[in-house]
Amino acid sequence: MRKISTLAALPALVSILMILTSCTQDGDTIYSPDPADQPSRAPLVTVVYAPNGLGDRGYNDLIYCGVENAARKMGLRTMQMSPSTVNMGLEYLQLLFQTMTNPENTIHRLIIVASTSYDDYLRKNSSRLESNPHADLLYIETKTPLPGKGSTFYMPYYGAMFEAGAIAPAEEADVLLVGANPKAPAIASAIEGFADGYRHSPVEVNGAAEKKFFTVWLSDDAAGGFAVADTTAMRLMKDIEWPEYNRHLIVPVCGGSAAVFHRFSEMLDIYNFVGVDVTETSSHCNFSVVKHIDRAIEQCIEQWLSPEGMPKHQTFGLANGYTGVVVHPFTDESKARFDRVLSNELRQSIHQEAVRKEADYEK
């Protein structure tokens, strides 16, 4: 079994990748097949991420893990491609499609596209893959199936974020909800879910009426806000008119930018934060909203290799356990507070309400 892993590369690198050579970010070759070796016929899974997507310690890194876990279990080759720009990602896709539309290419191949940045290209070109029965496409996350060949799935986050918002008052803190940008549908619905849950929370905490709730966006660009400078994040946190006597809770729904807010929360004792997409372990993080996209990816790869193949479209959400909230207070003081205001019965009631809300929202 051969594994090809590319985290970033120059546009010209893609053509080299097509002959199974892999390079580092600086262009150094880390693997080149021996000409004497017989080329592997193992199925090949290639992932194209959003610009600079890998390394976010959340959503994209979970996709990476899901692909690699599936490869280990099923004997697959993988190629992980994290371009530095949208244009570079489009160049990767153009060359991948050029290779995969050749009907003489009989290696079983799957392209996984992990960003809506490439939506227009995929919808205009997915039918080209129909010329090769060995080529498949999985596009995540979108509500709208592809018009030609290819499968899609969607992971609604509204319900899990509603649940997180509903339990947030147990933190006894003011809340700053930070979104990457309002034009990314998954981000916008997650922000809306948390805000709705917070407004309708049944959690009763002393002084709850005094708490303040703020929502800000890092960018107006549909692909923006997923990376933020330290100075920008710090200025944002400082410019909020926080009441001086309360703790502050940061909820960063902004991909790789979240790590910056996490770091500052660790440095400044008056801040706590909510883990998003993964369970964070920190004395400043008492609960996390999780998105098990690694499990969804593994499931889809298993389906791809099955005789039935992948469904045209499927949904993985709160009701079937692919998203959820994990409460994990780190200190004895915070655990006692959560236990006092958030009984098991109340948690279960909030969860069931969140499942119902997500079903209504997705209609």
Q: What is the pLDDT of residue 185?
A: 87
The enclosing H or E element of 309 equals none
Q: Count CA atoms within 13 Å of residue 353 on its CB side.
A: 20
Q: In whole angstroms, give the CA distance from residue 157 to residue 189.
A: 7
d(C-alpha 147, C-alpha 14), whole Å: 26
CB 154 within 8 A of CB 315: yes
Contact call for residues 330 and 336 (beta carbons, < 8 A):
no
Q: Which of 160, 171, 3 is nearest to 75 (CA)?
A: 3
Q: Angle at which helices 230-239 and 258-267 pack, to 10 degrees? A: 60
Distance of CA 22 to the CA centre of its chain: 25
For residue 35, the model assigns a pLDDT of: 53
67-87 pLDDT, tens digit per residue, is 999 999 999 999 999 999 999
Q: What is the DSSP string of 75-100?
A: T-EEEEE--SSHHHHHHHHHHHHHHH
Bond preceding residue 141 cis, omega within 30 of 0: yes
User: Tell me, what amino acid is at 85?
Assistant: T
Q: What is the pLDDT of residue 362?
A: 93
β-strand pairing of 287-291 with 323-327: antiparallel
Q: Report how far residue 344's alpha carbon sits from residue 342's, in angstroms, rounded to the nearest whole number.
A: 7
The conformation of residue 129, written as its DSSP 8-state character, comes to G
pTM: 0.83
Mean pLDDT by 10 residues, the chain (363 residues): 44 39 41 57 93 87 96 95 93 94 88 94 96 95 93 96 96 93 92 96 73 92 88 90 80 92 90 92 93 96 96 96 93 86 94 97 92
49: left (phi over 0), alpha (psi -120 to 50) or beta: beta
| Of residues 42, 73, 63, 43, the one with CA closest to residue 136 | 43
pLDDT, residue 206, reads 65
| Secondary structure (3-state) at 240 | coil
Which pLDDT value is given to residue 73? Answer: 96
- Residue of 321, 82, 340, 80 whose CA lies nearest to 206: 340
Type of residue at 208: A
Closest CA to 147 of 111, 122, 115, 116: 122
Supply 324's token pair: 């959820």
Pick the closest to residue 219 from 276, 262, 257, 162 (CA basis): 257
Q: Which helix (H) or strand (E) holds 110?
A: strand 109-114
Tell me if residue 323 falls in helix, strand or coil: strand
User: CB-based burial of residue 359 (10 Å sphere; 0-12 exposed, 13-18 middle, 19+ buried)?
Assistant: middle
Residue 187, by phi and psi: left (phi above 0), alpha (psi -120 to 50) or beta?
alpha
Coil, strand or helix: which one is 332?
helix
**Other beta carbons less than 10 A from residue 67's beta carbon:** 25
3-state secondary structure at position 47: strand
Do the Cβ atoms of 253 and 162 come closer than 8 Å? no
